[in-house]
Amino acid sequence: MSSNLVIVYHRQPYEEVEVDGRIEYRENKSPNGIVPTLKSFFGRFNSGAWVAWKEAEDPTDPGFDRVIEIDDQYGRYTVSRLPLSPEQVTSFYHVSSKEAFWPILHGFKERYNYDPVDWPTFREVNWAFAEAAAAEAAKGAIVWVHDYNLWLVPGYLRKLRPDVKISFFHHTPFPGANMFNVLPWRREIIESLLACDVIGFHIPRYVNNFVSSARSLCDVTVETREPVKPELGSQATALTERSLPTRISYEGKGINLQASPVGVDVDFIAEVAGRPETADKVAEIKEELGEAQLILSVGRTDYTKGGIEQLLSYERLLETRPDLRGRVRLMHVSVAANTNMVAYEAIQTELEQIAGRINGRFGSFEWQPLALVSRAVPFTDLVAYYRAADVAWITPLADGMNLVAKEFCAARTDGDGVLVLSEFAGAAVEMASAVITNPFSAKSMDSAISSALAMEEEERRVRMREMRAIVAKQDIRFWAEDQMQAFDSADMPEEAEIPAS
Ligand code: GDG
């Protein structure tokens, strides 16, 4: 019970590697940029802790230390590992979170799979996270919970520790009542979230949706509504809003709501982009391309990312524009998260089929229209591809934010390059200067990629300048400051005694 900041995130903040029989903790290689950002918060507090799960054949005798001390570039912090059995992991993470919640969060009712959900296990795992957080938090600490797989943690934690401030950040979209209420556990989830002091989302639309869902289930009062800041929606696209509730109350308790888009580490990306090795790699890629233009697409293998729709659009492009054959190449990086889930395997298979068909239909020995890359590309190479690309083609069907779009702009210190961005990515509300497209419309997809390939340099540079300005302004430090302010402005927890355990 000694940490002023407790981060509750399902994954551990490092990778464990066995070297000569000893465990070493290394930076995560997995393609997700949020972990280092969260760890950087430890530098802002006297003492920090992280709560995550770790698989154990027998959770009663896990064979590892439950709590360890880490001392890395982010400082010293404690990591509390909850031993979960493989069955618990499958049930809580792969089934409840990924098969039931994920499709609803992203608006895919038809993919929602209710039958296999074991709700008691979901509760049990969330309870274990709440207990571990309660054990680490100092009196009055901030407990910062991340994402939908830990939805029940705030409610449990509030009972265990009425003295702490609870902040919850959603990395995904949040749906309105029509969609959210498909979940039979809707009331329990909303009541748990209403135990928070702060609830954060990327953009105003998700805040409005959350309030619509909450009000359909509980007597929630909107205390304050504010106009949306111009940086979060100057031009009307599918996800823009005019105003958002910033404070609500429920059963006499105030809750601050926040629209705070996660940004990227612009300085780091610019530094990587400026390295001589990156320039060498860019030259290598360009030589390989010859006269061809490079279209780059990067994302996880997930139906929400719209990979299939994108490949079909590319196929139509090559079909209808014979002049582009031999003069354009698509690098489609689609990396599977480490899940072995049937839904994702089916997408991978379909991507491979369409990619094979495109290469077969249009390719030759000298020219391959498409490279489907299913393994993670090292980040330094990814930056070189961002630099070498003529067009970044980022067209998710639904996406909380989409950091790839921002990374692309951050890497373009040369001021060139075109971003084609789905209007259903949260990032679109900030980046209206992208070529905005609707991935549900073949016509819109096809005309966006065609016009991006044909765009004159002057227009490319104007748009890139505008996007780079916003990405630099609302970078990861901006988000961090916003989070810190949100912690500070939350109501002081009641002067309650910590219940004896
Ligand atoms: C969730 C929400 C929200 C991808 N391929 C490679 C690679 N990546 C890195 C990118 C980027 C990250 O993965 C992907 O971030 P996104 O934001 O685009 O998407 P999700 O993983 O779905 O993240 C999303 C985010 O949380 C943050 O709140 O924006 O909406 O779904 O950083 O660079 N990195 C490397 N090789 C790859 O092949 N090294």
Q: Three-state SS string across 218-247, please?
A: CCCEEEEEEECCHHHCCCCCCCCCCEEEEE
Ligand 1 binding pocket includes 376 (Cβ within 6 Å): yes
Is the distance from the beta carbon of residue 146 to the nearest atom of ligand 1 less than 6 Å?
no
- Which is more confident, 213 or 94? 213
| Cβ of residue 400 lying under 6 Å from some atom of ligand 1 | yes
Task: Report the percentage of the chain scoring pLDDT > 70.
Answer: 96
Give the mean pLDDT of the chain: 93
**Does residue 494 carry a pLDDT above 70?**
no
Say what the pLDDT of residue 497 is: 59
* pLDDT for the residue 340: 65
Do the Cβ atoms of 203 and 244 come closer than 8 Å?
no
Residue to mutate, 403, 406, 422, ligand 1, most ligand atoms under 8 Å from C-beta:
403
pLDDT given at position 31: 44
Average pLDDT over residues 315-333: 97
Q: How confident is the model at residue 498 (pLDDT cuts 50, 70, 90)?
A: low
pLDDT value, residue 495: 62
Q: How far, CA to CA in Å, does 122 sit from each of 95, 129, 189, 376?
A: 10, 11, 11, 30
pLDDT at 269 over 60: yes
Nearest Cα residue to atom 6 of ligand 1: 31
Q: Which atom of ligand 1 is nearest to the CA of 33?
A: 32
Report the nearest-CA residue for atom 25 of ligand 1. 171
Nearest CA owner, ligand 1 atom 1 = 171
Q: Residue 450: enclosing H or E segment and its boundaries?
A: helix 442-454
Distance (angstroms) between ligand 1 centre and the Cα of 456 equals 29
- Amino acid in the structure at residue 374: S
* Residue 150: per-residue pLDDT: 97
Name the residue of 29, 32, 375, 474 to mutate for ligand 1: max ligand atoms within 8 A of Cβ: 32
For residue 144, pLDDT over 60 is answered with yes
* Nearest residue to 80 (alpha-carbon basis) of 49, 110, 101: 49
Residue-wise pLDDT for 5-59, tens only, equals 999 998 898 877 778 777 777 776 544 568 888 888 888 888 999 999 999 999 9
pLDDT at 178: 97
Ligand 1 and 377: CB distance under 6 A: yes
> Of 402, 346, 337, 329, which Cα lies nearest the Cα of 375?
337
Q: What's the pTM? A: 0.95
Q: What is the mean pLDDT of residues 350-354?
A: 97
363 ligand 1 Cβ < 6 A: no
Instruction: Give the per-residue SS3 of 142-176.
Output: EEEEECHHHCCHHHHHHHHCCCCEEEEECCCCCCC
Tell whether the model's pLDDT for residue 280 goes beyond 70.
yes
Q: What is the residue with the minimal CA distance to atom 32 of ligand 1?
A: 33
What is the C-alpha separation between 161 and 68, in angstroms, rounded?
Answer: 23
For the CA of 378, the nearest atom of ligand 1: 39
pLDDT at 372: 98
Ligand 1 pocket check for 402: Cβ under 6 Å: yes
pLDDT mean over 410-435: 97
Mean pLDDT throughout 54-78?
90
- What is the helix (H) or strand (E) element at residue 482, kind and residue range? helix 476-489
CA 61 – ligand 1 centroid, Å: 35
Residue-wise DSSP of 13-39: SSEEEEETTEEEEE---SS-THHHHHH
Ligand 1 centroid from CA 32, angstroms: 5
- Sorted by sequence, the CB contacts under 8 Å of residue 103 that are 6+ apart come out as 109, 110, 111, 112, 113
* d(C-alpha 490, C-alpha 407), whole Å: 31
For the segment 245-266, the average pLDDT, to the nearest whole number, is: 96
494 or 493, which is more confident? 493
Residue nearest to atom 27 of ligand 1 (CA): 171
**Ligand 1 atom closest to 262 (CA):** 28
How far is ligand 1, taken at its centre, from the CA of residue 152, in Å? Answer: 25
Could you tell me the distance, in angstroms and rounded to a whole number, from the CA of residue 224 to the centre of ligand 1? 33
- Residue 153 CA to residue 150 CA, distance in Å, equals 6
Q: How confident is the model at residue 402 (pLDDT cuts 50, 70, 90)?
A: very high
219 Cβ neighbours under 8 A, 6+ residues apart:
250, 251
Residue of 401, 406, 419, 421 to test ligand 1 pocket, by largest number of atoms within 8 Å of CB:
401
d(CA 318, CA 322): 6
Q: What is the mean pLDDT of residues 68-88?
A: 91
Cα Rg, the chain, nearest whole Å: 23
Is residue 201 predicted with pLDDT exceeding 90? yes
The pLDDT value given to residue 45 = 86
Name the burial class of residue 289, with classes exposed (0-12), middle (13-18) and buried (19+) by CB atoms within 10 angstroms of its CB: middle
Question: Can you give the pLDDT at residue 75?
Answer: 81
* DSSP designation for 98: I
CA of 407, closest atom in ligand 1: 33
Q: Is the CB of 222 under 6 A from ligand 1?
A: no
CA end-to-end distance (rounded Å), the chain: 12
